Amino acid sequence: MKYGIYFAYWTKEWFADYKKYMDKVSALGFDVMEISCAALREVYTTKEQLIELREYAKEKNLTLTAGYGPTKAENLCSEDPEAVKRAMAFFKDLLPKLALMDIKILGGGLYSYWPVDFTLNNDKGGDRARAVKNLKELSKTAEEYDVTLGMEVLNRYEGYILNTCDEAIDFVDEIGSSHVKIMLDTFHMNIEEDNIAAAIRKAGSRLGHLHLGEQNRMVPGKGSLPWGEIGQALRDIQYEGAAVMEPFVMKGGTIGKEIKVWRDLIDDLSEERLDEDAKGALNFVRHVFGI
């Protein structure tokens, strides 16, 4: 298993100088750095830039993974055909870019939009059916470019279509593609699952990507989640994908607003302290997971 971290741990926005964070993530001993696809719309927009990032990651012995929360205007489960059309166009443009960067997994609430507007009358049944239909089509492009789509299971406060691993199993099985898998996140699972380890075992070979974070959104080891049980479940299913830390500890900026971080979670937000906590968490999960 490869261990990673989301660059956004150190930032307040969804885009940044990825080379700077590749330097940092590699020096801290991680195998993987996760990027946001928002940066591929805002900052890294040319083929030359994408190739440059790919080659720089290789120099740093890093694997890149990608995450994204689609906008409401580009929503695969929308009743609005134009929103679906925009979503399909976006993803079909994005997947070859990820392939060019040697990125093999794109995770997130790709089947819907994020952050969800709960003032709307979101139609879970109808939206789910539309998501299945449209992901069956999109999965063909994913298969063509060999990029797996990770269906992230979100807690009830951030999503409404997939809240549990059981729901995700039914969802990906209905789509029926080798390149549509389940993405689990320990932060969300702590809210929704009766037993985190049991849910991981249920996912089994369907588990394509994993996010690690405490119940308080801090790095692993700084909260109360049962990491020993989680590690045993991952060993039981012989999980070989990436386990990417996704902590959010800073208020402010777009990230703080959208993740709902209304206070700084640690007393020292210096880069040195953030680095120290990340490295300590990496050593912790490697020891506890033993894989």
Q: Catalytic amino acids?
A: 152, 246
In which residue are the tokens 């790709």 written? 110
Contact 248, 261 (CB under 8 A): yes
Quick one: which of 14, 24, 47 has its CA closest to 5? Answer: 24
Q: Please state, in angstroms and rounded to a whole number, the distance separating the CA atoms of residues 222 and 175.
A: 37
